[in-house]
Amino acid sequence: MAESRLILALDVYERERALEIARETADYLWAIKVNWPLIIGSGLDIIPELKEETGLPVIADLKLADIPNTNRLIAGKVFEAGADYIIAHGFVGSDSVEAVMELGKTIIVVEMSHPGAREFIQPVTDRLIELANRLEPFGVIAPATRPERVAYIRSKLKPGIKILTPGVGAQGGKAGEVLKAGADYIIVGRSIYASDNPRESARQIYEEVRAWS
Ligand code: XMP
């Protein structure tokens, strides 16, 4: 099977359910993203458990946005638990982001997918892209709900920095459009984990992504 470009946003609380959905969908995924709902519901041990169950990388979507010392304290424990990547906010400044990057692979939020992102984040996206170009993280987060913004971010971003896009499915984004705009990976949550058949939903999105690869 071709390498997947699909990331599952596993936003459920319960450990058993998370592991079951991960097992069912793993064949179609590049990585699994865990966010606060799952970490709060099941504890940090869910990270090594998901890795052992699926063999896939785990992205910890903590959206870290604190002073360097606190970012470092949090990121240290989460990388130690086995996370392969951590998502951090860029708007708190380069020292806060660097504190995470010193410990492991980091993904910086440069724009968000919800309507409210237009209020405060979008006006500073250019500066967040500059920050990413200077620090050269593994990747940045850009909104699948606005393919034209993904294309803009791609045009300004250094080659080699990956673009990961949440917002496909439940938030209205279309996989084909964002991949065409320059996204490297798409992140899908509810359209997979809340469907009656998560494996089949993941397979359909995987096929759609593959058609664009
Ligand atoms: P759904 O259910 O909408 O889940 O497919 C999307 C997942 O991605 C997260 N998310 C974002 N993370 N910037 C981010 O860093 C964003 O713009 C963004 N939009 C959605 C969301 O928390 C969920 O885990």
pLDDT in tens, 87-114: 999 999 999 999 999 999 999 999 998 8
| Token output for 29 | 């995924």
Domains of the chain with bracketed CATH: 6-211 (3.20.20.70)
Strand (E) positions, 46-122? 58-64, 85-89, 105-109
71 annotated binding-site participant: no
Output the residue whose Cα is nearest ligand 1's atom 13: 112
The model's confidence at residue 39, banded by pLDDT at 50, 70 and 90, is very high
pTM, entire model = 0.97
ipTM above 0.85, yes or no: yes
Distance 55 CA to ligand 1 centre (A): 23
Candidate of 85, 114, 120, 141 to mutate for ligand 1, largest count of ligand atoms within 8 Å of Cβ: 141
**Which residue do the tokens 């997979």 mark?**
192
Nearest to 49 by CA among 26, 28, 73: 26
Output the residue whose Cα is nearest ligand 1's atom 11: 166
Q: How far is it, in rounded angstroms, from Cα 51 to Cα 58?
A: 7
Q: What is the pLDDT of residues 110-165, one digit of tens each?
A: 999 889 999 999 999 999 999 999 999 999 999 999 999 999 999 999 999 999 99
As beta bridge partners, residue 106 has: 86
Would the pLDDT of 12 be above 70?
yes
174 annotated binding-site participant: yes
Distance 3 CA to ligand 1 centre (A): 22
